[in-house]
Amino acid sequence: MPDTIAAISTGAVLSGIGVLRLSGPQAIAVVERVFTPAHGAPMSARPDRLLVYGTLHDAAGAVLDICLCTVSRAPHSYTGEDTAELQCHGSPTVLREGLEALFAAGARQALAGEFTKRAFLNGCLDLVQAEAVIDLIHAETAEAARVAAGQLGGAVSRRTDAVYDALAAISAHYHAVIDYPDEDIPDFKIADYARQMRDAEATLAALERSFERGRVLTAGVPTAIVGRPNAGKSSLLNALLGYDRAIVTDVPGTTRDTISEPVRFGGVLLRLTDTAGLRDTADAVEALGVERSREALKRAELIFLLSDATGELTDEDAALLRQAKAAAPTLLLRTKCDLGEVPCALPADLAGTPILPVSSVTMQGFDALEAAVAARYPTDPGAVAGEMLTNARQADAVARARQSVRAALDALECGMPPDAVLTESEAAMAALGELSGRTVREDVTEQIFSRFCVGK
Ligand code: GDP
């Protein structure tokens, strides 16, 4: 029998309300030992999901808080087990003491993600939905939250489950044919199976494509802002963020460290890294910053290369631009265009680089910059909100499933023996099983749930 777990679900920070949460066979008995309703029956005699007003007692029995308690019995709860929640005043001290009281009453500390892991193990959520819970908690933009909410609601799972079920039905028939070789598969069945597999392939291909967008919405695009000292990097970062995050001075080399900030821009999440001037330096502290800038360039998937528009493009700018273009797609931003713009002649080998005049003072050119970013990450017009893959594990499983469906379809259409179709069809089902968690390895689930915070 699983034990009963407890945690502070809201985090031990000062807030209006703080939630203590319990799950497990003893959840209601444990909560009853620390919470006394102000009126009427104890919690074990109360209906599910009713908020009950009363007192919370510490481990020694003294009144610790006046709060609300609610219980939900298995299987109709988040974890599928008996659960209880205490809605306390959001004092870290009250929550800590309340948690100690729950431990003294028989619960143990929940591990990171243990509530959601139990929900998964009890079949209340599949693995895509469980990952959506983490994504929802970590969502940094409204779009990322919407995608995660769609996944949590089962948008991806419904699509992949339908493919799985179709393949399972086809596989069952092929098994029968292999077991009873006298039985033939009629032509109309073959045509029907081929159609179903083509549909399955199209569904999986659309999901596979959705990862490109899901990734830029959720994980974001590592974007490096590079340029010579005083090119306007910190000013651009601050202007994009809408507040002063980086120190702006007119002394070259003052951004000594790299700064990475998420910002929603061009319909995606950019993780902007302001870099110290990429130049050789004798100053040890600044040298560290320069080293990190090189690292930022290596990690970048998009680069804003800044050069001061009040002067011509220097040889140093051109050298930086070459370095940047070798690392990732690069936009050349001619900064300070509010002060005037000297025409920018690109050396022949850099021809074709997009050039955008911008001003971090007047925001001139920001719309064009945003459009240029958006154009790099187009939305799929056929995509349905929430039907989107957001991590590499999911994308990899779907890609393998699609490849196996394609191989099964080829085998079917070439008139190969039934076991060839069956092998590929079952390989596709196994890949989809990994996606949903039906057939996933224990170490993979461990890794997924370890990304959670305690209390979820
Ligand atoms: P960094 O060394 O590349 O980070 O450059 P900063 O952002 O610190 O800017 C260097 C100097 O240029 C500062 O004095 C800024 O105020 C100024 N500056 C930066 N961007 C603009 C701009 O768009 N217009 C004007 N007029 N000045 C700017």
DSSP structure string for 255-310? --S-EEEEEEETTEEEEEEE----S--S-HHHHHHHHHHHHHHHH-SEEEEEEETT
CA–centroid distance, 254 to ligand 1, in Å, is 12
CA–centroid distance, 47 to ligand 1, in Å, is 63
3-state secondary structure 385-407: CCCCCCCHHHHHHHHHHHHHHHH
CA–centroid distance, 231 to ligand 1, in Å, is 6
Protein residue closest via CA to atom 6 of ligand 1: 232
CA distance 122 to 313: 62
Ligand 1 atom nearest the C-alpha of 250 is 14
Protein residue closest via CA to atom 13 of ligand 1: 250
Ligand 1 atom nearest the C-alpha of 274 is 4
pLDDT of residue 382: 67
Ligand 1 site, residue 344, Cβ cutoff 6 A: no
Ligand 1 site, residue 9, Cβ cutoff 6 A: no
Ligand 1 site, residue 233, Cβ cutoff 6 A: yes
Ligand 1 atom nearest the C-alpha of 235 is 7
Per-residue buried b or exposed e for 381-401, using 16+ beta carbons within 10 Å of the residue's own CB = eeeeebbbbbbebbbbbbbbb
pLDDT of residue 140: 84
Q: How many CB atoms are located within 10 Å of the residue 426 CB?
A: 18
Q: How many CB atoms are located within 10 Å of the residue 178 CB?
A: 13
Cα–Cα distances (Å) from 110 to 4, 13, 269, 409, in that order, read: 8, 18, 32, 47
pLDDT of residue 289: 44
Protein residue closest via CA to atom 8 of ligand 1: 248
Mutate to test the pocket of ligand 1, among 226, 228, 230 (most ligand atoms within 8 A of CB): 230
pLDDT of residue 253: 46
CB distance 288 to 395 below 8 Å = no
CA distance 346 to 305: 13
CA–centroid distance, 362 to ligand 1, in Å, is 12
CA distance 324 to 297: 7
Ligand 1 site, residue 57, Cβ cutoff 6 A: no
CA distance 340 to 230: 16
Cα angle vertex 333, ends 327, 334, to 5°? Answer: 140
CA distance 136 to 144: 7
CA–centroid distance, 233 to ligand 1, in Å, is 7
Ligand 1 site, residue 218, Cβ cutoff 6 A: no
CA distance 389 to 128: 9
CA distance 262 to 400: 32
pLDDT of residue 444: 67
Task: Classify 362 as helix, strand or coil.
Answer: coil
Per-residue buried b or exposed e for 297-326, using 16+ beta carbons within 10 Å of the residue's own CB = beebbbbbbbbbbeeebeeebbebbbbbbe
Ligand 1 site, residue 253, Cβ cutoff 6 A: no
3-state secondary structure 155-193: HHHHHHHHHHHHHHHHHHHHHHHHHCCCCCCCHHHHHHH
CA–centroid distance, 7 to ligand 1, in Å, is 48
Cα angle vertex 95, ends 93, 99, to 5°? Answer: 120
pLDDT of residue 291: 58
Ligand 1 atom nearest the C-alpha of 255 is 4
Ligand 1 site, residue 23, Cβ cutoff 6 A: no
User: pLDDT truncated to tens, each residue of the chain (456 aa)?
Assistant: 789 999 999 977 899 999 999 999 999 999 999 999 999 999 999 999 999 999 999 999 999 999 999 999 999 999 999 999 999 999 999 999 999 999 999 999 999 899 999 999 999 999 999 999 988 988 888 888 888 999 999 999 999 999 999 999 898 888 877 777 766 777 778 889 999 999 999 999 999 999 988 998 888 999 999 998 899 998 999 899 885 544 444 444 444 445 578 888 988 899 998 775 444 455 544 444 455 567 778 889 999 999 999 999 998 899 889 989 999 999 999 999 999 988 888 989 999 999 999 999 999 999 999 999 999 988 877 667 678 999 999 999 999 999 999 999 999 988 888 888 999 999 999 999 999 988 766 766 777 777 777 777
Protein residue closest via CA to atom 12 of ligand 1: 232
Ligand 1 atom nearest the C-alpha of 254 is 2
pLDDT of residue 385: 67
Ligand 1 site, residue 235, Cβ cutoff 6 A: yes
DSSP structure string for 213-232? HHHHHHT-EEEEEEESTTSS
Q: How many CB atoms are located within 10 Å of the residue 208 CB?
A: 19
Ligand 1 site, residue 357, Cβ cutoff 6 A: no
How many CA atoms within 13 Å lie on the side-chain side of 144? Answer: 24
Residue 301: phi, psi to the nearest 5? -105, -10
Ligand 1 site, residue 359, Cβ cutoff 6 A: yes
In the numeric block, the tokens 């870099």 are attached to: 275
Ligand 1 site, residue 212, Cβ cutoff 6 A: no
CA–centroid distance, 245 to ligand 1, in Å, is 14
CA–centroid distance, 236 to ligand 1, in Å, is 8
